[in-house]
Amino acid sequence: MIGKMISLGFDLATMPARMTYRGTRAMLAMPGDFEQVIAEVRAVSDEVAREVQVLLESVDAEMSQKTAHLNPQQKQQAAELALDAAEQHLSMAAVNMLRALWLTVDSSRRLEQDADGVIIEHDGPAR
């Protein structure tokens, strides 16, 4: 199950890179440039794979140590709590991204609207 989740997460995480690679491959006309791009993509892919492997090994070692005293039922309960926490964090991250997007769009909209607006100046901080 964890392997499937990691595989799916890796597929989703690498999707932009794969799409960029396909677009780049379609745009390149000279074979030498294409081979260079392929070599660079392979190097980056190998580096990412190594980083993912190190991360998995780190998580495995940490969790093996932290949960050695738990029985399978307690581990299942802890997994459910961890998934709930992850869902809340991801949901909040998504909401924060939408808020940031809204603020960015709204601020540019307000700047366009306020171009001819009145500017009120004041002398120093209010007391």
Q: Quick check: 6 and 57 in contact, CB under 8 A?
A: no
pLDDT tens sequence across 4-48: 556 656 565 666 665 666 665 565 555 566 677 778 888 888 888
Cα pseudo-dihedral 30, 36, 37, 40, rounded to 10: 180
Q: List the domain boundaries for the chain.
A: 1-66, 70-113
pLDDT tens sequence across 46-103: 888 889 899 899 999 999 999 999 999 999 999 999 999 999 998 898 888 888 888 8
CA 17 to chain centroid, in Å, comes to 13
Could you give the CA distance from residue 120 to residue 110 in angstroms, rounded to a whole number?
A: 16
pTM value?
0.45
